[in-house]
Amino acid sequence: MQFVGDAVMAVFGAPVPLEDHADRAVAAAAAMHAAQEQVNDGWVARGLAPFGLGIGVSTGPVAAAILGSDERLEYSVVGDTVNLTQRVQQWADPGETVLSSATMEALTAPIDAETLEPALVKGRQTPVAAHRFPPRAAPVAAT
């Protein structure tokens, strides 16, 4: 897991490949939405504004490495897949998760998701297809 500004980047299937990496990522996203709902319930009860959480998930090759110095080391991944994840996350409204088509294809069990109109994103020459689902459309238990 890596914190980047106001974002959290979680990696499934690196450095050790996992056959069910997409399922784990989608389950984690659903669990994050469920946890955020509980936090928001407490905030609203105290008169505070709820916090909106939108999640993007993408599947593909990355370059993974341990970066840093003797004082601070950090496991990090970089590459087009990381960039695409950020782009599809921008399409997620609060309470939603947007998956790349590669992630949808990698799931071992289908989920009910809306197919979005392909759109151009920064860094890509061809439109990107993605799928959006509300948190209740996916299993909540992350394994």
Show the DSSP H helices in the chain as ranges: 21-45, 80-89, 101-106
Q: Is 85 left (phi over 0), alpha (psi -120 to 50) or beta?
A: alpha
> For the whole model, what pTM was predicted?
0.85
pLDDT along the chain (143 residues), means of 10: 70 87 93 93 95 93 88 87 93 94 92 92 92 68 44
Cα Dmax for the chain: 47
Give the pLDDT score at 111: 87
Give the pLDDT score at 7: 73
Nearest to 80 by CA among 55, 53, 104, 102: 102
Interatomic CA distance for residues 95 and 37, integer angstroms: 9
| Residue-wise pLDDT tens digits, 60-85 | 999 888 888 889 888 888 899 999 99
Fold of 2-137: Alpha-Beta Plaits (3.30.70)
Give the pLDDT score at 42: 96
**What are the boundaries of each domain within the chain?**
2-137
Q: Which residues pair with 57 in a beta bridge?
A: 99
Give the pLDDT score at 142: 45
Nearest to 91 by CA among 110, 112, 107, 115: 115
